[in-house]
Amino acid sequence: MEADPDYSHNQINPTGTTEPKTTRNKLIYLSFSNRVKLHKLPHLTDYYAAATTTTTTTTSSDDDLSSSSSGGFQRSSSSSSHTNPLEDNPFYQPSHSHGFYITPSDVVLRHIVYDYQHQPSFASATSLDDDDDDDDAAAAAFHRGGPRRQIFFQVSSTKAAIVTCGGLCPGLNTVVRELVLGLWDLYAVRQIFGIKAGYRGFYSKELEPLQLNPKLVHNWHKIGGTILQTSRGGFHLQNIVDAIQHRGYNQLYIVGGDGTMRGAVEIFHEIRRRKLNIAVTGIPKTVDNDVGIIDRSFGFQTAVEMAQQAISAAHVEAESAVNGIGLVKLMGRSTGHIALHATLSSRDVDCCIIPEIPFYLEGKGGLFEFLEKRLRENGHAVLVVAEGAGQDYMRRRTGMDRINEDDAQNQKQEDISIRAAGGRDESGNPVFLDVGQWLKSELNKWWRREHPNELFTVKYIDPTYMIRAVPANAKQITCTARLLRIQPFMESWQGILGLCLAPSMETMHTFHLKRSQRLKMKSILETINGPGSDQSPTSLIFRQRAS
Ligand SMILES: Nc1ncnc2c1ncn2[C@@H]1O[C@H](COP(=O)(O)OP(=O)(O)OP(=O)(O)O)[C@@H](O)[C@H]1O
Ligand SMILES: O=P(O)(O)OC[C@H]1O[C@](O)(CO)[C@@H](O)[C@@H]1O
């Protein structure tokens, strides 16, 4: 059937099905419900027969989810649903506001733009299992995050733990603050604990958890870093889950990047294996923005804004010199999101080099040729490079590729260049050669060789930690407050066991923790080539500045 090009005739009703409309002689009927692939979330009721979803308020005792403030191990037991305490909150009128509560049929589509005429039609409404690998199907959808009418956790027995892991990023304290305020104000939870210094804080005797309350966290959003502290490494699954059981936490909020999310998935599986009623919520933060599925992780936007300041300085330096090159190295271990977004938003950059796209220096299409031309045309150039770019190329050119990883690990820690040739940090992430220093030196050598009598300057700026050690910017604070305060933990309250909460299209969506591990390689290409693109650019070099 041919669709009517007049889209104003298609109306999507609240159940997600477009109403049939007769327009002239055509009947339009676009059924969303049998095209959308909805990603399943693991729910308490999937694992515990005793968990119910009745709509009546129950009077189950505090023992339902036994809190072990006495030090006893938490029992796995039945859990029944309760009416959301927001019902009695004087600041909300949930029952009178249409759409306040999220229902299971509220979804966030993975892509907002798609051509329904060219999508395969799915046989029936599909529920994707954990292992289905279909996130990029045009009609893939995730459950929308937000408050639910019925919840599974009882306030009096709720004991929440919040932990920040991995590297810093702007706004970590904001995330913690909003979680504390939401739990305290909206749900009257009084047992909220901050786990110190990342995953090791769960079990380490030297790191006592910090009890959190609104008074304590009131100005945390103005402070960079993480007051709870963070660390890499120290992930000992059994120790962590033993400690969680021992302390009686039944809601975990795990804030971190892709490595942290992998750890959260393992914790989730172990909790399931032990049949514990503990909800695990992952909240992706990282300046790298390399957590799959979501639009952007908490912290990314502020980091991009800070990176622009470095680019502006590099531009001023380059412009003020004869044949000046401003070179900025930005974070981004395996992805160039910061470099790319800072480049696109600054409009001062001539060339951006990212890990996803290999580059080379000499010959046709190489960096030297490009810069030669640019300097002749414009007198100066600005270069941005992501820290993970060109690592193999550098190793080959410097002979580092002949040093294997074991050799590198065995070198003295202070010998940074050797360690970087294959070393790993405590979490197992590769430690890199300094591509910025190397480029600066290669550029100088090239110019001396080719133009020995002409002036030339490379000003190298490395703002590495400056871009992530700042508090969140205004936009990020508002977004965190709006999305996390009202929406987040309602999902785990609802009995969902392992999920990732993240902003997408200005709303909160939730997906199975396992899916958070996907990197966002495709979206980098989309940023470069336009929406829907899956083609690699032919060259790393792309000009986007008017001369
Ligand atoms: N595959 C994994 N399984 C279990 N735990 C992991 C795994 N990968 C990393 N972790 C743990 O997660 C924590 C954070 O990991 P990592 O240092 O890689 O930072 P990250 O979460 O990726 O954040 P960032 O983006 O800032 O680097 C560490 O404690 C690390 O031991
Ligand atoms: O020096 P650290 O703390 O290990 O962190 C460096 C890494 O952390 C990040 O900022 C986030 O993963 C990366 O971009 C960077 O490679």
Q: What is the predicted pLDDT for the residue at 217? A: 97
Whether pLDDT at 288 is above 50: yes
Q: Which residue has the higher pLDDT, 104 or 322?
A: 322
Which position among 135, 288, 348, 350 bears the catalytic label?
Answer: 288
CATH 3.40.50.450 domain span(s) along the chain? 150-297+478-500
pLDDT in tens, 201-240: 999 999 999 999 999 999 999 999 999 999 999 999 999 9
Ligand 1: does its nearest atom lie under 6 Å from the Cβ of 199? yes
Residue nearest to atom 5 of ligand 2 (CA): 167
Class of domain 300-399+421-469: alpha beta
Q: How confident is the model at residue 50 (pLDDT cuts 50, 70, 90)?
A: very low
What residue type is 112 in one-letter code? I
pLDDT in tens, 57-76: 333 333 232 333 322 233 33
Whether pLDDT at 53 is above 50: no
Q: How confident is the model at residue 546 (pLDDT cuts 50, 70, 90)?
A: very low
- Proximal ligand: closest to the CA of 516: 1
Give the residues surrounding ligand 2 with Cβ less than 6 Å away. Answer: 167, 257, 286-288, 331-333, 387, 425, 468
Closest CA to 193 of 173, 175, 216, 211: 211
Q: What is the predicted pLDDT for the residue at 475? A: 80
94-103, 176-185, 222-231, 356-365: the lowest-pLDDT one: 94-103
Ligand 1: does its nearest atom lie under 6 Å from the Cβ of 471? no
Whether pLDDT at 257 is above 60: yes
CATH, domain range 150-297+478-500: 3.40.50.450
Percent of all residues in the chain with a pLDDT value above 70, rounded to a whole number: 63
Query: How would you class 442 by CB atoms within 10 Å of its CB: exposed for 0-12, middle for 13-18, buried for 19 or more?
Result: middle
Q: What is the predicted pLDDT for the residue at 479? A: 74
Ligand 2 atom closest to Cα of residue 464: 10
pLDDT in tens, 292-338: 777 777 789 899 999 999 999 999 999 999 999 999 999 988 889 99
The SS3 call for residue 416 is: helix
Q: What is the DSSP string of 349-404?
A: -SEEE-TTS---SSSTTSHHHHHHHHHHHHSEEEEEEETTTTHHHHHHHHTGGGS-
Question: Span 505-516, mean pLDDT?
Answer: 61
pLDDT in tens, 335-358: 899 999 999 888 899 999 998 888
Q: What is the predicted pLDDT for the residue at 75? A: 38
Q: What is the predicted pLDDT for the residue at 123? A: 36
What residue type is 537 in one-letter code? P
Q: What is the predicted pLDDT for the residue at 510? A: 65
pLDDT in tens, 413-435: 444 444 444 578 899 988 888 99
Predicted TM-score (pTM) of the model is 0.81
What is the side-by-side strand order in the sheet with 351-353? 351-353, 380-386, 324-330, 457-461
Compute the mean pLDDT over every residue in the chain, rounded to the nearest whole number.
Answer: 75
Residue nearest to atom 25 of ligand 1 (CA): 257
Whether pLDDT at 284 is above 70: yes
Q: How confident is the model at residue 487 (pLDDT cuts 50, 70, 90)?
A: low
Q: What is the predicted pLDDT for the residue at 248? A: 97
Spatial distance between the Cα atoms of 87 and 32, rounded to a whole number of angstroms: 32
23-27, 191-195, 407-411: the lowest-pLDDT one: 23-27
Percent of all residues in the chain with a pLDDT value above 90, rounded to a whole number: 37
Q: What is the predicted pLDDT for the residue at 236? A: 98
Q: Which residues pair with 159 in a beta bridge?
A: none
Ligand 1: does its nearest atom lie under 6 Å from the Cβ of 282? no
pLDDT in tens, 16-35: 444 444 444 444 444 555 56
Question: Span 498-504, mean pLDDT?
Answer: 60
User: Which residue out of 288, 354, 387, 519 has the highest number of ligand 2 atoms within 8 Å of its CB and is therefore the one to mutate?
Assistant: 288
CATH 3.40.50.460 domain span(s) along the chain? 300-399+421-469
